């Protein structure tokens, strides 16, 4: 039986690369979301005229961010993929950020990765390799995108691959610990 994409491991055990599940392709005004209950993608919203995702946007499966959803990732690539596409990727950094909605502030970082397969070497090795203007434009997109939704998105700092991986590993560990707690509780209930 096939594993649902949201249940794949965040890290591929064979290659050590990250699994990224694409929600919304580069250039799209349509924002898609994975519907866990039905195992399919739904149109979540249409962005305002003139606004489109600058790169493929998705999530690391089997993770959970502070906002309760899977951890977000922007996949820098020349061409768009499609909703539901699972991509092998290398993490190159993170834009650490806070998001404020209804007076509540949470961390909602944007991890940044690049495609890496046996045929495709990564286009960047580090966030430092990405043009400063491009990074400013990405941050501006997320500020504007959140503002249109009635939220404030505030970039705090940009971190490289090592710092990003350390932060992601913590989030993966937190989910893993939560699953162990659930299993222990279920075991006690069955007794």
Q: What is the pTM of this model?
A: 0.89
Lowest mean pLDDT among 52-56, 172-176, 178-182: 178-182
pLDDT for 103 beyond 70: yes
Single out the residue of 1, 12, 2, 35 nearest to residue 172, CA to CA. 12
144 burial (CB, 10 Å; 0-12 / 13-18 / 19+) is middle
CATH numbers and ranges of domains, the chain: 5-190 (3.90.80.10)
**Residue 188: enclosing H or E segment and its boundaries?**
helix 161-190
**pLDDT digit string (tens) for 74-84?**
999 999 999 99
């Amino acid at each position: 039986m096939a594993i649902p994409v949201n249940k794949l491991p965040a890290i591929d055990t064979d290659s050590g690369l990250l699994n990224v599940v694409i929600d919304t392709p580069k250039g799209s005004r349509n924002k898609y979301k994975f519907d866990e209950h039905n195992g399919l993608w739904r149109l979540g919203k249409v962005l305002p005229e003139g606004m489109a995702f600058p790169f493929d946007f998705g999530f690391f499966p089997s993770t959970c961010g502070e906002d309760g959803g899977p951890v977000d990732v922007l996949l820098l690539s020349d061409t768009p993929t499609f909703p539901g596409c699972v991509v092998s990727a290398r993490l190159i950094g993170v834009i650490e950020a806070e998001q404020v909605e209804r007076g509540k502030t949470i961390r909602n970082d944007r991890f940044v990765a690049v495609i890496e397969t046996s045929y495709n070497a990564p286009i960047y090795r580090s966030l430092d390799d990405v043009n400063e203007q491009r990074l400013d434009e990405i941050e501006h997109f997320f500020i504007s995108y959140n503002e249109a939704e009635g939220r404030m998105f505030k970039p705090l700092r940009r971190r490289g691959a090592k710092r990003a991986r350390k932060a992601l590993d913590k989030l993966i560990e937190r989910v893993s610990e939560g699953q162990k707690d659930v299993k222990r509780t279920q075991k006690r209930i069955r007794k």
